[in-house]
Homo-oligomer: A and B are copies of this chain.
Amino acid sequence: MSSERDGVRDWMEEIAWSAGGLVSVVVQDAMTGRILMSACMNREALALTVETGEAHYWSRSRQRLWRKGEESGHVQKVKELRLDCDGDAVLLSIEQAGSIACHTGRERCFFRRYEDGRWVVTDPVLKHPDEIYPKRSSASKGPR
């Protein structure tokens, strides 16, 4: 599905987009090496990420484009973008504004560790979600 344009292969089409037009994205903190979150992008989100240097995703729960930090201020500045061997996963290395990537107010979404048959919360809440998202009722869910 690659196209040639003036001899330049279209890098977007080297990605093995899913039937729904999405690709998995792993987000790593460029400073600490920690995995902060996992998300999805569609073509528009990826194009905007590259153009602006700030991470954009496709929100499956809200079915819309989402600029990370648009409400929370927890913007992700992109340092590096990588593609895996079979083209179905992108790795973003980023600088995390506010040191909070998770909508629960934690540094990272992977705040639970498996221990003897259960998931144990290991990471503290750095900022309460009500402070991060003051416009939302506490009942609404999902990162922004």
State which residues 60-88 of A face B: CB under 8 Å: 80-86, 88
Q: Is A3 an interface residue (CB 8 A)?
A: no
Give CA–CA (A106, B50) in the complex, Å. 26
State which residues 71-120 of A face B: CB under 8 Å: 80-86, 88-89, 91, 102-104, 106, 109-114, 117-119
Chain B residue at minimum C-beta to C-beta distance from A110: B82
Are B82 and A112 in contact, with the CB atoms below 8 A?
yes
Partner of A11, one of B33, B35, B118: B118
**Knowing A26-B38, A35-B28 touch, does A114 contact B82 (C-beta < 8 A)?**
yes
Could you give 19 example pairs across A and B, Cβ below 8 Å? A8-B118, A11-B118, A11-B119, A24-B38, A33-B33, A33-B34, A35-B91, A38-B89, A80-B114, A81-B113, A82-B114, A83-B110, A84-B109, A85-B104, A85-B106, A85-B109, A85-B111, A86-B142, A89-B110
Measured CB to CB, the residues of A under 8 A from B are 8-9, 11, 14, 24, 26, 28, 33-35, 37-38, 50, 80-86, 88-89, 91, 102-104, 106, 109-114, 117-119, 142-143
